[in-house]
A and B are shown apart, each in its own frame.
Chain A
Amino acid sequence: GAVVSQHPSRVICKSGTSVKIECRSLDFQATTMFWYRQFPKQSLMLMATSNEGSKATYEQGVEKDKFLINHASLTLSTLTVTSAHPEDSSFYICSARIAGGPTGELFFGEGSRLTVL
């Protein structure tokens, strides 16, 4: 099946610094990628939809200036958590839809666990 890779899988940073998480589709092109946040024992919360070559669409309540998303190519989207604070500590997951693929079928990355000290 299609493979989506996230990097880094774990990151620890100091409060006030910025952290970048990469999401790559390894063997397919993804015109659309999604970023989610998962809290312990809770479901995924869609943060934003990232479209190649255009601005991301953010869900209500998600600060676009804090969670910067860039989708510069058909195989790479990045999420940058700017001026991170301890409350930003979470598990961030990306997913990608194959261009022209079945509606709704997504392939997920392994997730990136962010810990802000």
Chain B
Amino acid sequence: GNSVTQMEGPVTLSEEAFLTINCTYTATGYPSLFWYVQYPGEGLQLLLKATKADDKGSNKGFEATYRKETTSFHLEKGSVQVSDSAVYFCSSGSARQLTFGSGTQLTVLP
């Protein structure tokens, strides 16, 4: 079946540091790939997405590129802010459902 493996947390960074959260997937066919973010006390929100190989999703300074050859969709941000502290979920989508990674807790310190 489909699966998503993402970097275990928690991750703690200082403000303005570079962020990478690794994500790899296994799936039949060519799924869409997503990063969702869950801020403290809130529900999940779509952060960015990519629907085909070599697509780059970007939003709020975050980026991730759909790499078919390495089946990866790593999340990056060049300079994190305290307000980026949240749990980040990588997910792989088929026509039927999304499969989620385990989530990575990010804490950014001032």
A binding-site residues for B, Cβ under 8 Å = 1, 4, 6, 34, 41-44, 46, 49, 93, 95, 102-111
| Cα distance, A1 to B44, chains bound together (Å) | 13
User: Does the CB pair A43–B32 fall under 8 Å?
Assistant: no
Select the residue from B44, B49, B51 with max chain A CB neighbours within 10 A. Answer: B44
Asked whether, in the complex, the Cβ of B44 is within 8 Å of the Cβ of A93, the reply is yes
Find B102's partner among A34, A42, A103, A109 (CB 8 Å cutoff): A42
Cα A34 to Cα B91 in complex, Å, equals: 15
Query: A93 and B43: CB pair below 8 A?
Result: yes
Are A110 and B89 also in contact (CB < 8 A) when A43-B102, A104-B98 are? Answer: no
Q: How far is the CA of A43 from the CA of B87 in the complex (A)?
A: 10
CA of A107 to CA of B89, assembled, Å? 14
Nearest B residue (CB) for A44: B100
Closest beta carbon of chain A to B4's beta carbon, Å:
9
> Once A and B bind, how many residue pairs between them come within 8 Å at the CB atom?
55
Q: Which 5 A-B pairs have the closest CB atoms?
A: A104-B93, A108-B44, A110-B43, A104-B32, A43-B102
Of B51, B98, B105, the most chain A CB neighbours within 10 A belong to B98
Q: Which residues of B contact A (CB under 8 A)?
A: 31-32, 34, 36, 42-46, 49, 51, 89, 93-98, 100-103, 105
Q: List 29 A-B contacts (CB under 8 A).
A: A4-B43, A6-B43, A34-B97, A41-B105, A43-B89, A43-B101, A43-B102, A43-B103, A44-B44, A44-B89, A93-B44, A102-B32, A103-B32, A103-B93, A103-B94, A104-B31, A104-B32, A104-B34, A104-B49, A104-B93, A104-B94, A105-B34, A105-B46, A105-B93, A108-B44, A108-B45, A110-B43, A111-B42, A111-B43
B103: chain A residues at CB < 8 Å are 41-43
CB-based contact A108/B43 at 8 Å? yes
Chain B residues, CB < 8 A from A108: 36, 43-45
